Amino acid sequence: MTSHQVLGKQVAMPVEIRAASAFTAMYSVPTAAAQSLIDDTGLEIMQFRPGRGVCVLVFVDYVDGDLGPYNEFGVSFLVRDHRAAGTSVPQDLKALARGRAGALIHHLPVDGDFTLAAGRGIWGFPKVLAHFDVDHSGSVKRGSVSQGGRLIAQLSVKQGIPVPGSGASTSLAAYSHLDGLTRFTTWDMSPTGVRSRPGGAELKLGSHPIADELRSLGLPKRALLTSSISELKMTFGDAQPV
């Protein structure tokens, strides 16, 4: 078992998240525009149809975990597994159906100093400090994130229908890129109380550079899919260089 020192504290691997909640919105984006944003990672945008990839926006409330309580807003793109040989849309769809899509964490504002230091130092996640105003408890989930007084994004997600089989464990390959190094970390997740629906999101982008970047992707008014997770448990170990 390995461990890392973060701000004078030891963080043992794997890190455990015992209680969290989340809500997400997935948007169709042009492959070329998204790829231009991540070219330096060496990864490739996964396509669900020719010329279209997926951008995922997510708010997470970490209630009880080894890194302490904090809020997080993620901007990520679905990418091809760096070990996979396939580069066609049918192969991408097959990987999606089998749960083998990777997620490149492109931006990751948080509101805790400790998780910022751990995220950047251990896994290479591009965490930055930001201000959050979120409500995970209502039937409509709402979140707002800003930095330096400038709004990044404000997202609301309407309640979907229960997803059968929630509670089953699943794994996600999470990719990061920081200081010229691309890494991947396997997240094991056990979500319960999952609800999803087509559309169902309202998104407002502010004047922050992250908002400008999202705006440049031409996010459609309607989300492909929205989801909420009332209870989320996770474990993740050390990052590996790609």
Q: What is the pLDDT of residues 48-67, one digit of tens each?
A: 999 999 999 999 999 999 99
Q: What single-letter amino acid sits at 36? A: S
Can you list the alpha helix ranges (DSSP code H) found in 3-112?
Answer: 31-38, 89-97
Domain coordinates in residue numbering, the chain: 14-241
C-alpha span between 130 and 75 (Å, rounded) = 14
pLDDT at residue 95, rounded to an integer: 85
The three-class DSSP label of residue 156 is: strand
236 closest CA partner among 160, 168, 171: 171
What class, spelled out in words, does domain 14-241 have in CATH? mainly beta
User: What pLDDT, on the 0 to 100 scale, is given for residue 85?
Assistant: 72
Amino acid at position 69, single letter: P
Residue 49 is given by DSSP the state B
Nearest 10 degrees: CA dihedral of 170, 233, 123, 31? 50
Q: What is the pLDDT of residues 170-208, one digit of tens each?
A: 888 999 999 999 999 999 999 999 999 999 999 999 999
Count CB atoms within 10 A of the CB of residue 78: 22
Report CA-CA distances (Å) from 36 to 47, 82, 157, 162, 190: 14, 17, 28, 36, 33
